[in-house]
Structure 1
Amino acid sequence: MNTAHGRRAAYVAAPEHVKPDRLFDRDDEWAALGAFADDPTPAPRLGMVRGRPRQGKSLLLEAMARSTGGLYFCGQQATEAETLRRLRAEYERHAGAQPDGPAWQDWGQALDALFALGDDRPYLVVVDSFPALVRSSPTLPAALRAALHRLEVAPRTNRVRLVLSGETGPVMGRLFTVGSHLHALAGLRLEVRPLDYRRAARLWGLDDPELALLVHAVVGGTPAYRYDYVSEDAPRDLDDFDDWICRTVLSPRTPLFAEARHLVDEEVAQATPGICHSVLTALATGRTTQGEVATFLGQQLADVSRALTLLRDHGVLRSEPDGLRPAVTRHRITDQLLAFEHAVARPRRTELEQTDAASVWRAARDDFTAYVVEPQFGDVCRQWAARFAGPALLGADGPVTAVYGSPADPGEPDRPTGAPDATAAEVVVRSAGDTVGPPLALGLARWGTPMDAGHLERLRALAARSAEPARAAAGDVRLLLFGTRGFSDDLHAAADRGEVVLVDPPRLYAP
Structure 2
Amino acid sequence: MSPSDATTLPARPDRIFDRAEEWTDLARFVCDPRPGTTLALVSGQRRQGKTVLLEALSQATGGFYFDGQAAAEAESLRRLAERFAEHTGADRPPHWHHWDEAAEALLALGDERPTAVIIDDFPELVGHSPALSSLLHGAFLRVHQERPHNRARLILSGASPAVIRRLFAGPSSLHGLASLEVAVRPFGFRKAARFWGIRAPRLAVQVHAVVGGTPAYRGDLVCDDAPAGPDDFDAWICRTVLNPRVPLFWEARHLLEQEGDYADRALCHSVLVAIAGGRSTPGGIADRLGASLHDVSHVLAAMRHHGLLHDEADAFRPGLTRYRIAEPLLAFEHAIAWPHRAALEQEETAEVWRRIRPDFDATVAAPHFAQLCREWVTRYAAWDTFGGAVHTAVRGTVPDPEGDTRLDAEVVVRGTADGRPGALLSVGLVRWNEAMDVPHLARLRRILALVTAAGEDTGRTVLTCYSGVGFGPELRAAEAKGEVLLVGADRLYHGE
TM bin (shorter chain): over 0.9
Structure 2: gaps of 5 or more residues: none
Offset of residue 472 of structure 1: 5.3
Identify the range of structure 1 (224-233 vs 454-463) with the bigger mean alpha-carbon deviation: 454-463
- Name the SS of the counterpart of 1:240 in structure 2: helix
Report the equivalent of 2:225: 233
Offset of residue 466 of structure 1: 2.9
1:384–1:128 distance in 2 versus 1, CA, 3 Å: same
Match of 2:72, as an amino acid? T
Report the equivalent of 1:36: 29
- Name the SS of the counterpart of 1:206 in structure 2: coil
Match of 1:340, as an amino acid? F
Offset of residue 504 of structure 1: 0.8
Report the equivalent of 2:173: 181
Report the equivalent of 2:63: 70
- For residues 456 and 3 of structure 2, what CA distance do their matches in structure 1 show? 43
Q: How does 1:8-407 map to 2 (within 5 A)?
A: 11-12=4-5, 15-99=8-92, 101=94, 103-168=95-160, 171-175=163-167, 181-269=173-261, 272-396=264-388, 398-407=389-398
Are 1:441 and 1:478, in contact at CA under 8 Å, matched by a contact in 2? Answer: yes
Offset of residue 80 of structure 1: 0.8
List per-residue Cα deviations over 1:40-98 (Å, max 9, x = no partner).
22111111111111111110111101111101111111011111111111112212333
Offset of residue 388 of structure 1: 0.4
- Name the SS of the counterpart of 2:242 in structure 1: coil
**Correspondence for 2:449 among 457, 460, 464:** 464
Offset of residue 314 of structure 1: 2.1
Offset of residue 483 of structure 1: 0.7
Structure 1: gaps of 5 or more residues: 2-8, 415-420
List per-residue Cα deviations over 1:186-215 (Å, max 9, x = no partner).
111111111111111111111111111111
Match of 1:425, as an amino acid? A
1:346–1:114 distance in 2 versus 1, CA, 3 Å: same
- For residues 320 and 412 of structure 1, what CA distance do their matches in structure 2 show? 27
Are 2:84 and 2:93, in contact at CA under 8 Å, matched by a contact in 1? Answer: no
1:43–1:459 distance in 2 versus 1, CA, 3 Å: same
Are 1:173 and 1:313, in contact at CA under 8 Å, matched by a contact in 2? Answer: no
1:410–1:293 distance in 2 versus 1, CA, 3 Å: farther
Identify the range of structure 1 (132-141 vs 312-321) with the bigger mean alpha-carbon deviation: 312-321
1:111–1:145 distance in 2 versus 1, CA, 3 Å: same
- For residues 348 and 321 of structure 1, what CA distance do their matches in structure 2 show? 32
Match of 1:404, as an amino acid? R
Identify the range of structure 1 (12-21 vs 398-407) with the bigger mean alpha-carbon deviation: 12-21
Report the equivalent of 1:5: none
Q: Which consecutive segments of 4 or more residues in structure 1 shift more than 6 A?
A: 176-180, 468-471
Match of 2:56, as an amino acid? A
Alignment identity in percent? Answer: 48
| Total equivalences in the alignment | 494
- For residues 28 and 170 of structure 2, what CA distance do their matches in structure 1 show? 23
List per-residue Cα deviations over 1:375-415 (Å, max 9, x = no partner).
0000000011000012221221x35321122224587767x
Offset of residue 20 of structure 1: 2.1
Match of 2:215, as an amino acid? P
1:485 aligns with 2:478: no
- For residues 13 and 85 of structure 1, what CA distance do their matches in structure 2 show? 39
CA RMSD in angstroms, aligned pairs only = 2.4
Identify the range of structure 1 (430-439 vs 371-380) with the bigger mean alpha-carbon deviation: 430-439
List per-residue Cα deviations over 1:461-507 (Å, max 9, x = no partner).
22233358897563x01221101222122222222222221111111
1:70–1:468 distance in 2 versus 1, CA, 3 Å: farther
Match of 1:55, as an amino acid? Q
Offset of residue 292 of structure 1: 1.3
Report the equivalent of 1:6: none
- For residues 69 and 172 of structure 1, what CA distance do their matches in structure 2 show? 26
**Correspondence for 1:439 among 424, 449, 462:** 424
- For residues 162 and 76 of structure 1, what CA distance do their matches in structure 2 show? 18
Are 1:92 and 1:98, in contact at CA under 8 Å, matched by a contact in 2? Answer: yes
